[in-house]
Chain A
Amino acid sequence: MKNPGKIIATGIVVVVVVLAVWGWLALSQQVPEGAEGRWGGVDVTVIEKYAVDAGREAREPFINTDQGDLLLFVFALGGAVGGFVAGYYWRRLIAEKAGRRRAAG
């Protein structure tokens, strides 16, 4: 056995993943269905369900963008800006420097 630590670490990860897949399949029938029906988010099906059971309800956010298509707009805008920032810095930090190093080597 050349590297027992590596084998043990990889083995632990494999066992955990197998158990997680088994747990997912075994528990998938118990997913509580919220008001949104199938594909509802866990914030509604789990968090709000337990909060309502305990007598607390979610308030409207301070800036309520959940009106009409406004939420879709801010999500698209957030995704576009976030994607641009991540891509810009990825290119600056990873792609350009690695390319420069390849050219120099």
Chain B
Amino acid sequence: MLNKRDHWFRAHILLALVFVLGLLFLYPTPAYAMHIAEGILPASWCAIWYAIAAIFVVIGIRLIRRRTREIRGLMPLLGISGALIFLISVFPIPVPISGSCSHPCGTPLGAILVGPFISTVLGALALLIQALFLAHGGISTWGANIVSMAVVGSFVGFGAFILFRRFNASIFVAAFAAGLFGDWATYATTSFELASALHGGGSLWGMFGAIALAFAPTQLPLGILEGLFTGGVVTLVYQRRPELLSQIIPRAFKPVSSVVKGGGR
């Protein structure tokens, strides 16, 4: 009896959460973001960032081809990850006290779910749709935006998750760290991309510091929010389908002695 009531309660809480999140996602608001807009970077820098991004995207596409043949059930995971990266990276969040808006990245979460190279491809696709149809980012700056959000967000997030799991941190803490550091690293990279192209005769690191400091009041709290979201989603997936995560990233689970309640079967 208690189990039945507990199940009913859980189902309705989940339904309410989906409804509230749905309303938030569907609320029509123009996005304010860190994507570098069309025309801001000189052509030579656009080419450099395109070349760097291409390496990761090509490896990611090859991995998708191979893994979809090897692992059944990867396609739905790709669908969830891609949709979440797209939604999260156009979702403007107002930051109280600072009085500004920005958005999380979603790629650290994607990297934990499907691996960093595949998450890079999903991030690149999300950025392409945003640049083409949402007046958000740009085609010439697509490479730079891929490097900052898709590549760095994925790899730093994935690296933080692996590192914290090696320290035996709980799934939530490790995923929180992934979201937090992945988000901040993305904005640090955007600062570097801007500073390297625009510093002119001035100091590269001086301009990098100034831009990073200007991002900080908005992005410090948003990093914490991204950490909480990433931690929550990864914990939920791990509790319900632990085998999904161990299939994709078995390395992270080798030294584990702590397990999330109900997930360590």
Interface residues of A (CB under 8 A from B): 3, 5-6, 8-10, 12-13, 16-17, 20-21, 23-25, 27-28, 30-32, 38-51, 53-54, 56-66, 71-76, 78-80, 82-83, 85-90, 92-95, 97-98
Contact = CB atoms under 8 A, between A and B. Distances in A.
Interface of B: 18, 22, 25-42, 73, 76-77, 79-80, 82-84, 86-87, 90, 92, 94-95, 97-102, 129, 131-135, 138-139, 164, 166-170, 173-174, 176-177, 180, 190, 194, 198-200, 207, 210-211, 213-221, 223-224, 227, 236-237, 240-241, 244, 257-258
A24 B220 contact: yes
B26 A57 contact: no
A31 B98 contact: yes
A13 B163 CA distance: 12
Contacts, number: 240
A90 B79 CA distance: 9
B99 A58 contact: no
B180 A16 contact: yes
Contacts of B240: 94-95, 97-98
Interface centre among A10, A48, A72 (most CB of B within 10 A): A10
Given A78-B86, A87-B22, 18 more contacts: A3-B257, A6-B169, A23-B217, A27-B217, A38-B100, A43-B33, A45-B100, A50-B210, A59-B138, A65-B135, A75-B28, A82-B86, A85-B83, A86-B79, A86-B87, A87-B18, A90-B80, A98-B241
